[in-house]
Structure 1
Amino acid sequence: MAYVAPIHRATSIRHAIRANVLDPEIDDLVVAKANRLEIWRLSEEGMECLQTKLIHGTISMLQRLRPKGSETDLLFIGTDRLQYFNLAWNPEMKQLDTIERVIEDLSEPYMRHSQSQNKCLVDPTARFLAMHLWEGVLNVFRLPTRKGSTNKLEILDQVRLTELFMKASTFIHSRTGHPTIAFLYKSQMEQEEARLAIYRLTHDDKGGVVSKFDPHKDRELDVVIPDPYASMLIPVPLDEEKRYHVRNTEGAKAHLGGLLIVGETLLTYYDGLTHRSVSSSLKDPRIFVAWAEYDGTHYFLADDYGRLDMLTIETNVEATGVVVTGMTLVPMKLGESPALTSRASSLVYMGNNTLFVASHHGDSQLYQIDPETNAMLLIKSLSNNAPILDFSIMDMGNREGDAQAGNAFSSGQSRIVAGCGAYQDGSLRSIRSGVGLEERGILDELDGTRGLFTLRSYNSDLVDTLVVSSITETRILSFDTDGGIEEIYSFQGMEQDTETLLASNLPNGQLLQITPKSVVLLDPESGVAVSRWDVPTGKSITRASANTKWALLSVDGTSLVSLNLLQNLAVNVQQTQAEPGSQQPDQISCIHAARDPPDIGVVGWWSSGRISLIDMATFQPLHGESMRQTDDSATVPRDIALVQLHPPEISGPTLLVAMEDGTVVTFNVSIKGFAVSGRKSVTLGSNPARLHVLPQDDGTSSVFVTTEHASLIYSSEGRIIFSATTADDATFVAPFDSHAFPDSIVLSTDSHIRICHVDKERLTHVKALPVHETVRRVAYSPGLKAFGLGSIKKELVLNEEVVTSSFRLVDEIVFKELGEPFLLNASSTLEIVECVIRAELPDAGGNLTERFIVGTSFINDGQVQEANGTLGRILVLGVDEHRQVYQIVSHNLKGPCRCLGMMDDYIVAGLSKTVVVYNYSQDTSSSGSLEKLAAYRPAALPVDLDISGNMIGVGDLMQSLSLVEFIPAQDGRKAKLEERARHYEPIWTTSLCHLDEERWLEADSQGNLIVLQRNADAPTEQDRSRLEVTSEIGIGEQINRIRKLHVPAGDNSIVHPRAFLASAEGSLYLYGDIAPQYQDLLMTFQSKMEEYIHAPGNIEFKLWRSFRNENRESDGPYRFIDGEMVERFLDMDEGKQELVCEGLGPSVEDMRNLIEELRRMH
């Protein structure tokens, strides 16, 4: 039985409006993200999310309505399953309530969906509502005016339209008060044109009878727009001044109050009363995608390339009123250059010169606008992963050959690297499980920090002093109980005119300060030095560490010194020894004095690359371990810590070693004999990491690691967690538990110091690298420690759109581009990357070598014929010692190569109408060939492949999944592909993945997930050739990619993680198999939860999660557990939890623990 849960929710914003929902005096921003409704409020600091509401349906419509006499707005919500309802804010309960009536769809079986997206229009009075749901049909609603029912929409009529091919529609402002609607349409599907039709919505003055929309009787206007590519209508409000009505319109001028038609080359304005028009040509052709009104004569326009313009309606005041004379378009500016925003799905002007750009293709943004200078300033950016086109799973743990035992996503050792966004908004994003840092304070103008230490002043019970060390001085900051900060120039006798290597309070009350020239014990009350040890003349302390008993020092990297803090700095000194076969003594690379046991020190060595555990009293070595796994390795330990990560009753100390190449190696340390075992390596960066120990109240410690991917290492349920953090710019970290900032940490960056609180709950953290191209395909090569990206670039060159495609290599840690991009330019028109995989293929000497295999397609307009009828290629690419990509094989195809896979040493390619198995051979270092071994013809078009052994899963564009077996050549017979099983149901496949044995996971374009199984042991051939559905659910989002996980199942685990799924809305899901002993319990539990979870619109959970496509619709999810649903149990009060668990078997506490374990998986 199957389980699916979101690990990162949808971030794409397709719908956004401005409305008075929570407060009649304040305009809020309401946005829709897949099945979540969010209400944001703007503030001086930026934006704050006030409300989040889960909807049982993907939101396809969002509008505001204003009932008569109401000071706040209603929200009108429509879902992709044609359910519609109103939400109103309940100020007493502080929640959004559903208005009693839920509108059901009034479609007939023969109706066709509208050619464009479903649209919802609201008239300027916010009382009438019209919906385009079906081709040639308009549904009309209104809010009644009688008391007691003003907020309940009533259906007026469903009318037929002769305007079938609708491009745009809108209500326009009317001087008569009658609702008036305009349609921009074309009369023929195949021919591009733009026609404008205007109708009165209702016949009677009361607005109760809907017009018949007869083109001969009811049309007020029907004209052809000169720009056939016009696609946007903007209603222009009426001027407040009284207008003189001219009955003879022949010589009349166009007055303010009407309609703007925005085309690619022409702007046209129509007077709403006389229908007189004014046109203005655009200097350059533009494709506009969104607009927002600034005021009655100024409008923001966003185009397909993210450019933002201010459209101004030029007017003159005459005796007849305000006359429109023309339109101008002026680009907005960011700094000195034209403004480039994310490609807008919606623009919302929020007042106070702030503009919100909602985006599906990139980050949504909030800008400050200066309309006089057309300048813009970015205030806030909301991260958006959508659409995720492809991703790879990078296991940062197990870097030393153990490739089989993968790490769970929740451990932080596994990260997802995804190609997100489109065109100029395209980016490569690293997604990891981690903890957040809540910023509590910031200290500016403190740069060049080389160390942070927190101290207690005399008689203080908590930390109240921060020591900031730089290369030339030590600065000391004192904090009062209210958070006030003062820099002090004398503190307990500390030296401040030199760098401080270490400062700490000792249990006996003394203060320890270590500088490059001395070690001093100070009396906190008098500031007098109790004991002092000075470095011999000409030498200096290069590294220092201390616990409550010992100070461990490295002097010039050649002498190891330990000072007994309890015996007036009694000294032990040992010179480093030369390595066998070397004349030079080994040098000390790092040292650490363990907190517990206090007599143990750890030393790292430069030349040998070893670590040594020593007794600090005698320097007697207790254990030594080489950190180099191979003879040619030159890596060096650069920082080290021996800490109690796990509770002492569970495990002994853990030794962490930060290596020069950015990896952190962990060992288990035995208390008896101090032997180390259980070596494990995790890559956290490409530069040496620093380890900062953060002691906890329970005797354990966590470790903050500062590097390119700053991480917090701690223990959870007996395993070590490497959580990502949001402090990638941190350089030094120290604990800071003070009166004003309890349970905090202080961290430094290159420019300032921050005080932060570490969140307890793990979240998903995203780090983005802008690429400004569509990253269509991502492949990860562990051997090369790099990602291969197949990308598409769209740009304007001399006002002409130019599209190019390339393959490039980027570093696995910081995503730095390696070498030059490999351009795909074999076509005389355009060659596009279709698929990229990584493989180990034999070179000319027969040795397996890392390669990238790229499938492409040629795009042309049918007028240009390629040589030899080539319509695609398969490329085999190598990477040389300079990290430059070069071509080994270019194999021409008669059609596009849509997908690729590896089957042992064979390459499997999904072409336009066939699946082909190729044998690869390399003749020289830069040349090779592909030999066709066998082929199979699917039902339509293969869109995805996955391979298990000799079985190839072929996901077809229209006809679901087929299993094809590869039979190698034998006994003189040629190799062949034979179909073994098929799913006999039309499904538009988007991605698939082999789970185990005979089970496969498939996703379709309607947002469904299906688990299919083949019964290979069935008695008849017919039964063996049929794939049966064992689980299915509606996700509500199109899944673009599924990647298999290789995580071993725990003995007592409830769910075994199997795969990650990425959607077009920016979501990431975890799919898993439920252990047999928990299946019935979780199914019953989910059913019980449905009774107590009530979503807006009263839409049933079963209906929301049911399988649905054009052929059938199920009653609910089949053998599928929705993790998001069952985890809502933890948000219930205890009374409801008891009701849910009644008759279930396990207690409330048992179910809480079980669900918390499920939540911790992601």
Structure 2
Amino acid sequence: MPIVFEGVPYLLVALGDGTLLYYVMDPSCAALSGKKRVTLGTRPLSLKRFRTRGDNTCVFVCSDRPSVIYSIDKKLVFSSVNIKEVSFMCPLHTKAYPNSLAMATLDKLMIGTIDEVKKPQIRSIPLGVTPLKIAHQSSTSSYAILTAESGVLIPGEKEAELFGVVASSLAMSTSESRAAPETVCPRDLSHVLFMHQSTYEITHAHQLLPDEQGICITSAKLKDDEEYFVVGTAIVLPDGTDPKDGRILVFKYDSGELQLVAEKESKGAVYAVVPFHGKVLCTIGNIVRLYDWTTEKEMRLECSHFNHVKALKSLKAKGDFILVGDMMLQSMTVLLYRLDLSCLEETVLRADNFFNLAVCQKDSSSPNEDERLHMIETELFHLGEKINVYCHGKLFMQDATEISVPIQGCVLFGTVNGAIGLCCQIPKEFSKCLFELQEKMSESLLLAGGTVGKIDESKGFIDGDLIESYLELDHEKQEEIAKNISLPGGTPATADELIRLVLDLAQLH
């Protein structure tokens, strides 16, 4: 199907295995270039052109995983449609159904509309309280949100006028750990809110104890193969000293109904909790503890590790290895759960309070035992923002995005300023080219400040924002920077080839 998006002519080719090929087309000489391949299903594809209410050209892909193709900033975007298999589609415009689509599935005919295609928008869900942590559980299509106290009700003031509607008061059902005294303002009580992932309707609100605050939450599949929400809390003292007590709560949530399955009191705040081999791994004060999940649905302490000053939020697990970050010592410790020690060759991504991002590695091959236990900083980058959460994941559809640069080890991070970032590993043959481009870009751009002082240079990191600014330069400047840069394989780079490379990388976000 030949089609024009934002003035750029394309040729779309649908294949029988669910693959779509697309080319940039030059009508003057009937030449095709920039071949790309994306997977949009597992069955033969059918392409149907239509226009949205805003008169934007789009293509509907009929398949077992229907999607819509459109263009933003002269880049093709593939967006999934929230219905199952569609075998045929045609535009429908009548008085009763203006700007609609008629879609045939295996057993029914559907009439619907496609919302105006725009750039991703942020939708705010007012809670009336401060959200602290959020966890998602795909099996129950739900979110669990920890909320914190955020004010004191002044006598004579109406709570709704002072703070707006409190989210917990809108819940379809409620429960509580223990009845709160009448003198306690509802705003001073922390809750665990449960919300439907599609409608964002608050289906249940669980009230914590007075002076108890939720610290961490995760979704965990435990040994009985059921998924639970596990919450760690702390009893916050009025004098501001470190909490001496806390709890671990295990909730079972299903179809809007909530059950507190297990509760474990702790001698200290529960700062972090993660699932680990069907068990519950957590940091309590300065101790790392592992709780087994019994057949009676109870938590039984299995083992502990005490060699920490303050093991706060930094707790990650992968395989049999556990990574603990000590905030007071500004150090990391890798613990091994199994007795059969294997070689630890994986890298660790670390963030500190000085807004730096670093990669550390453990040299398991060293003959010196002390060196094998020591983690070496191999890469360093000054991000300029404080990171407070990591998770493995991507910001793009793996199947629907073909990138010429093979990447692996994608890690998402969130900062205290509300930014979301992505770190990934790039093969050496591509990183050499990108490092050369980064160096030339840093030399050509005028940086703010102009002060002279001691600077610790970053090493091992490629600044994606700096690389992407290459697209904003005029073509003459792009050609100048492309000189003496080598592509993978050693061939000299041209401006057009660098543009294609940077555009490919830009698809990662």
Tell me the TM-score normalised to structure 1 length: 0.32
Q: In the alignment, what sits opposite 1:1095?
A: 447
Q: Residues 666 and 1152 of structure 1: is their aligned pair in 2 closer, same or farther, counting only changes over 3 Å?
A: closer
Indicate whether 1:833 and 2:210 are aligned.
Answer: no
Indicate whether 1:1029 and 2:377 are aligned.
Answer: yes
Query: Is the 2:289–2:301 contact (alpha carbons within 8 Å) kept by the matching residues of 1?
Result: no
Indicate whether 1:668 and 2:43 are aligned.
Answer: yes
Q: Residues 755 and 952 of structure 1: is their aligned pair in 2 closer, same or farther, counting only changes over 3 Å?
A: closer
Q: Residues 1130 and 870 of structure 1: is their aligned pair in 2 closer, same or farther, counting only changes over 3 Å?
A: closer
Q: In the alignment, what sits opposite 1:158?
A: none
How much does 1:1066 deviate? 1.7
Q: Percent identity?
A: 20
Q: In the alignment, what sits opposite 1:965?
A: 336
Structure 2: runs of 5+ lacking an equivalent: 3-9, 20-39, 83-89, 102-112, 156-183, 486-491
Query: What are the within-5 Å matches in structure 2 for residues 553-592 of structure 1?
Result: none
Distance in 1, Cα, partners of 2:499 & 2:80:
24
- Secondary structure (helix, strand or coil) at the match of 1:1121 reads coil
Query: Is the 2:288–2:311 contact (alpha carbons within 8 Å) kept by the matching residues of 1?
Result: no
Q: In the alignment, what sits opposite 1:1121?
A: 462
Query: Is the 1:915–1:942 contact (alpha carbons within 8 Å) kept by the matching residues of 2?
Result: no
Q: Kindly provide the CA deviation profile for residues 868-921 of structure 1, in whole angstroms up to 9, marking residues without a partner as x.
A: x961011111125x5222212111111000001122122111111111111121
Q: Kindly provide the CA deviation profile for residues 188-214 of structure 1, in whole angstroms up to 9, marking residues without a partner as x.
A: xxxxxxxxxxxxxxxxxxxxxxxxxxx
Distance in 1, Cα, partners of 2:192 & 2:418:
23
Q: Kindly provide the CA deviation profile for residues 968-992 of structure 1, in whole angstroms up to 9, marking residues without a partner as x.
A: 6x9xxxxxxx9x99xxxxxxxxxxx
Distance in 1, Cα, partners of 2:361 & 2:121:
35
Q: 2:233 aligns with which of 845, 853, 856?
A: 856
Distance in 1, Cα, partners of 2:50 & 2:14:
20
Q: In the alignment, what sits opposite 1:897?
A: 270
Q: 2:298 aligns with which of 925, 928, 935?
A: 928
Query: Is the 1:853–1:877 contact (alpha carbons within 8 Å) kept by the matching residues of 2?
Result: yes
- Kindly name which structure, 1 or 2, has the bigger radius of gyration based on alpha carbons: 1
How much does 1:1050 deviate? 7.1
How much does 1:1150 deviate? 1.0
Q: Residues 718 and 1093 of structure 1: is their aligned pair in 2 closer, same or farther, counting only changes over 3 Å?
A: closer
Q: Residues 814 and 1153 of structure 1: is their aligned pair in 2 closer, same or farther, counting only changes over 3 Å?
A: same
Q: In the alignment, what sits opposite 1:1020?
A: 368
- Secondary structure (helix, strand or coil) at the match of 2:298 reads strand
Q: 2:205 aligns with which of 796, 800, 821?
A: 821
Higher relative contact order (CA 8 A, sep 6+): 1
How much does 1:922 deviate? 4.1
- Secondary structure (helix, strand or coil) at the match of 1:771 reads coil
The structure with the largest strand share of the pair is 1
Q: Residues 955 and 711 of structure 1: is their aligned pair in 2 closer, same or farther, counting only changes over 3 Å?
A: farther
How much does 1:934 deviate? 3.0
How much does 1:711 deviate? 8.2
Tell me the TM-score normalised to structure 2 length: 0.70
Q: In the alignment, what sits opposite 2:129?
A: 773
Q: Kindly provide the CA deviation profile for residues 61-93 of structure 1, in whole angstroms up to 9, marking residues without a partner as x.
A: xxxxxxxxxxxxxxxxxxxxxxxxxxxxxxxxx
Q: Residues 856 and 1146 of structure 1: is their aligned pair in 2 closer, same or farther, counting only changes over 3 Å?
A: same
Indicate whether 1:791 and 2:160 are aligned.
Answer: no
Query: What are the within-5 Å matches in structure 2 for residues 582-981 of structure 1?
Result: 647-649=11-13, 651-652=15-16, 666-669=41-44, 693-694=50-51, 702-703=59-60, 712-714=68-70, 721-722=78-79, 763-799=119-155, 802-818=187-203, 820-825=204-209, 829-842=210-223, 847-861=224-238, 871-880=245-254, 882-923=255-296, 928-958=298-328, 959-967=330-338
How much does 1:848 deviate? 1.4
Indicate whether 1:1079 and 2:436 are aligned.
Answer: no
Indicate whether 1:1146 and 2:493 are aligned.
Answer: yes
Q: Residues 942 and 1151 of structure 1: is their aligned pair in 2 closer, same or farther, counting only changes over 3 Å?
A: same
How much does 1:937 deviate? 2.5
Distance in 1, Cα, partners of 2:138 & 2:272:
21
Query: Is the 1:914–1:942 contact (alpha carbons within 8 Å) kept by the matching residues of 2?
Result: no
Distance in 1, Cα, partners of 2:59 & 2:211:
54
Query: Is the 2:60–2:68 contact (alpha carbons within 8 Å) kept by the matching residues of 1?
Result: yes
Distance in 1, Cα, partners of 2:45 & 2:475:
43
Query: What are the within-5 Å matches in structure 2 for residues 140-179 of structure 1?
Result: none
Structure 1: runs of 5+ lacking an equivalent: 1-594, 597-645, 656-664, 672-690, 726-732, 737-744, 749-753, 971-977, 982-995, 1104-1112
Distance in 1, Cα, partners of 2:219 & 2:115:
41
Distance in 2, Cα, partners of 1:768 & 1:1139:
45
How much does 1:764 deviate? 4.0
- Secondary structure (helix, strand or coil) at the match of 2:430 reads helix
Q: Residues 909 and 1007 of structure 1: is their aligned pair in 2 closer, same or farther, counting only changes over 3 Å?
A: same
Q: In the alignment, what sits opposite 2:172?
A: none
How much does 1:649 deviate? 4.0
Query: Is the 2:58–2:68 contact (alpha carbons within 8 Å) kept by the matching residues of 1?
Result: no
Q: Read off the aligned partner of 1:1074 and give its amino acid letter.
A: I
Distance in 2, Cα, partners of 1:670 & 1:1148:
35
Query: What are the within-5 Å matches in structure 2 for residues 471-550 of structure 1?
Result: none
The structure with the largest helix share of the pair is 2
Q: CA RMSD in A?
A: 4.3
How much does 1:930 deviate? 2.5
Distance in 2, Cα, partners of 1:1033 & 1:872:
36
Q: Residues 756 and 890 of structure 1: is their aligned pair in 2 closer, same or farther, counting only changes over 3 Å?
A: closer
Q: Read off the aligned partner of 1:1022 and give its amino acid letter.
A: D
Q: Give the paired residue count.
A: 412
Q: Residues 755 and 712 of structure 1: is their aligned pair in 2 closer, same or farther, counting only changes over 3 Å?
A: closer
How much does 1:1122 deviate? 0.7
How much does 1:1082 deviate? 1.0
Q: Kindly provide the CA deviation profile for residues 425-449 of structure 1, in whole angstroms up to 9, marking residues without a partner as x.
A: xxxxxxxxxxxxxxxxxxxxxxxxx
- Secondary structure (helix, strand or coil) at the match of 1:890 reads strand
Distance in 1, Cα, partners of 2:403 & 2:374:
33
How much does 1:935 deviate? 2.5
